[in-house]
Amino acid sequence: MIYLIRHAEKLDDSIHAKLTPKGLADSLKYGEKLKLNRSKIDLIISSPIERCMQTAYEISKGYRRINIESSTLLGNPGVFINKGEEAMQIFNTYKLVDIINMQLSKKNLKGFNDIESSVKDLLYLMDKKGDNVLYISHDAIITPLISYISNEKYIIKDDIVNYLDGYFTNLENLANSWKPNNIFVAK
Report d(CA 117, CA 80) in Å as an integer: 9
Please give the C-alpha separations between residue 137 and each of 8, 18, 187, in angstroms, as whole numbers. Answer: 10, 14, 21
User: Residue 184: pLDDT above 70?
Assistant: no
CA 105 to chain centre: 21
pLDDT of residue 177: 82
Mean of pLDDT over the chain: 93
Please give the C-alpha separations between residue 94 and each of 10, 43, 109, 181, in angstroms, as whole numbers. Answer: 21, 35, 11, 28
Radius of gyration of the chain (CA): 15
134: alpha, beta or left? (left if phi > 0; alpha if psi -120 to 50): beta
Number of DSSP helices (H) and strands (E) in the chain, helices first: 6, 6
pLDDT of residue 187: 38
pLDDT tens for each residue of 90-149: 999 999 999 999 999 999 999 999 999 999 999 999 999 999 999 999 999 999 999 999
In terms of Cβ atoms closer than 10 Å to its own Cβ (0-12, 13-18, 19+), residue 21 is exposed
pLDDT tens for each residue of 83-93: 999 999 999 99
CA dihedral 130, 18, 81, 94 (to 10 degrees): 130
Report d(CA 134, CA 142) in Å as an integer: 13
Residues 6+ apart with CB under 8 A from 71: 45, 46, 47, 48, 125
Average pLDDT over residues 34-54: 96
2-133+140-175 in CATH: which number? 3.40.50.1240
Report d(CA 44, CA 62) in Å as an integer: 13
pLDDT of residue 182: 67
